[in-house]
Structures are given as structure tokens and as C-alpha cells.
Amino acid sequence: MNKKKICLLIGAVLIIILIILLRPRHIKVSLSDTDDLSVVREGSEISLTQNEKNQLIDIIEDITVMPWLYPQSTGWTYRIFTDNRTNNIIILNNKVTINNITYRPFGKSAANVIDYLDNIYNKSLVTINIANADSITVTNQSNHKTAVFDGNKLKDLTDALAFTPSHPVTFYNDADSYVQYVLNIQYKDGSSEELSIVKCPAILYKNQYLSVDLYALELIQEEVGN
């Protein structure tokens, strides 16, 4: 066999090996027997029904990846914890990390997870609506300093609190639920309401803790301190 044929044969073998190594493949992760599964975005856990968890598991197990270098991350990051947080899955549109091993997803297999979780996450968003407030008295629980927001200051604060829809907040430390500020709201119709902002930070609104806009915190801290 001449050298040319040997080179062609070796080249063909190498191409076959590369095709085998670089072919799209499913991530070898089985979650079907997982009882404890939680999803976290922006540091807060997303509440899922058991049916939603089952559907999520099916979508994750269907992810196909390419075993080569991945591009820079894009899209929102979702962290999925299983088995008392011993397994850590991070999913973006173009990057999947499972227990510190990173893959490049093939096609829309990872984006399907993002789309599914985005839909659930967006349903959980709440707009803090206190636009009908006549005044807000804020008390700093640490130094007992108070300030009254009315006029333009009131509008700035109510606009800041409602600037972006808030998402539910989950506490992992009891210290996070320590109340920092109390907002006593007097409405134009004569009614009143009391809201609390805790250390996390989060605001207790309609019996649930929600994320609070940082600009709203800055406005409060300018008046009553940290």
C-alpha cells in the first residue's frame, strides 16, 4: 500500500473519530427519581407545582449538547438544585453547566428550558401598586428615625416601588427577615396600610415577600439612614 493510500486511510479514520466525538448527544443526567428539586433565579426560589416539576424534568433530560467550546453566556440564568442541593444545574440559552462541567447546547434544547421557566416566573411577578397614597411615613427600626414622604418625594417613592414587577423572595437565613423599615401608608380615601421592608431586601406586600427596587431603598435611606 503506497503512502498516499495510507494517508487517506488515516485521514478517514480521524474524520470518523471526530464525528463520533463531536456529535450532538444527550446529557447523561437522570432526574426522574428526584423528590427534592428547586429552581432559583436572581437569588430567589421559583415556586413550582409537582406537575410543573415533572414537566421541567422531562425538558431537562431532553437537552442535547455539543462537546466543544461554548460562546459567552446570554439570557437569564436559572439554577436548578436537586437532592438537597447536591446537584447543581445552571441553564442559559447557549450554555449548560452540570456539577461544574459545562456544555454547549445543541439547537433549542436548553432554550426550551428557559422558555418554560420564564413563563412560570413571569406569572409570579407582582406590581406594587400604592399610587393612591396621600403620604407615606417611613420608620427606620434600627435608629427609630422617621420621615414623611409627600408631594414630589412621595411620587418618586411610589414610582420606584412600582418601577419593575417584583418577584417572590425566599429566605434561607432568619436574619434576612429582620425588619429594617416600616412604611405607614395613608391613602387618599382615608384608609391606611403598613408595609415592612426586611434586610434581604424584600418588602412584605399583600402577605408575601417581594423583591424591592434598589432605587426605592436609596430614597428611603437618604431620609432615615441605613
Q: What is the pLDDT of residues 70-90, one digit of tens each?
A: 556 666 678 888 765 656 788
Please name the amino acid found at residue 196. Answer: S
Answer with the one of 105, 123, 141 that is the final residue of a domain.
Answer: 123
- Whole-number pLDDT of residue 188: 92
Helix (H, G, I), strand (E, B) or coil at 61: helix
- Whole-number pLDDT of residue 69: 56
Residues 119 and 152 in one domain: no
Distance (Å, whole) CA 22 – CA 3:
28
Segments of the chain with pLDDT less than 70: 1, 18-35, 43, 67-76, 83-87
Residues 143 and 55 in one domain: no
- Whole-number pLDDT of residue 32: 61
Domain membership of residue 205 (yes or no) is yes
Residues 158 and 75 in one domain: no
Residues 117 and 95 in one domain: yes
Task: Give every CB contact of residue 39 below 8 A, 6+ residues apart in sequence.
Answer: 45, 46, 48, 56, 78, 79, 80, 81, 117
Structural domain range at position 90? 26-123
Residues 137 and 193 in one domain: yes
Residues 108 and 139 in one domain: no
Q: What are phi and psi of 44, to 5 degrees?
A: -120, 140
